[in-house]
Amino acid sequence: MISKKIEEAINKQINEELYSAYLYLSMAAYFAEQNLMGFHHWLFVQFHEELEHAEKFYKYLIERGGQVKLQAIKEPDRSWNNPRQAFEAVLNHERHITGRINELVDLAESEKDRATFAMLQWFINEQVEEEANAQEIVAKLEMVGDHKQGLLMIDRELAQRK
């Protein structure tokens, strides 16, 4: 049986992951409005990935005999000044999620919950990838600056995401 502290923390993380999905769906819509469909595609894929993360926590909590308590999802931002600002928001959000995962790891260690600790290792590795992907896009957007041709090249590249 999972401890109440871990159960509460995982429920909060489910909410964080669902908010992440909601945020990326909002960003995808923003890019669709800008006719940058490669950016839209990348963020729409990311939306689905965040839903999968929420589902992993959801299923894990059930497997451990915990109670899932879904909470209201806060409204995400809807617009950004430019693509770079949007992806800086992605990077900052992923850093926030990394911090939340690290707090869960600390809690699992303090509760001596080895099963939760082991499950969280996947998320630790995932967050390294999430931050690296966002950082790479931010760096490319910084390189191209206000050059529309460069933005369109990045858009084409992001459209290739599987």
Q: Are 42 and 161 in contact (CB under 8 A)?
A: yes
Mean pLDDT of 46-62: 98
- CATH number of the domain enclosing 112: 1.20.1260.10
| Sequential DSSP letters for 4-38 | HHHHHHHHHHHHHHHHHHHHHHHHHHHHHHTT-HH
Mean pLDDT of 127-156: 97
76-87 residue pLDDT tens:
999 999 999 999
Residue 18 confidence (pLDDT): 98
Mean pLDDT, the chain, as a whole number? Answer: 98
Q: What percent of the chain has pLDDT over 70?
A: 100
Confidence of residue 61 (pLDDT cuts 50, 70, 90): very high
Query: Does residue 35 register a pLDDT over 90?
Result: yes
pTM of the model: 0.96
Domain with 78 in it: 4-158
Total number of domains constituting the chain: 1
Confidence of residue 117 (pLDDT cuts 50, 70, 90): very high
Residue 78 confidence (pLDDT): 96
Residue 20 confidence (pLDDT): 98
Closest CA to 73 of 18, 9, 11, 8: 18
Residue 102 confidence (pLDDT): 98
Query: Does residue 37 register a pLDDT over 90?
Result: yes
Residue 1 confidence (pLDDT): 85
Residue 10 confidence (pLDDT): 98
Element spanning 143, H or E: helix 114-144
Residue 6 confidence (pLDDT): 98
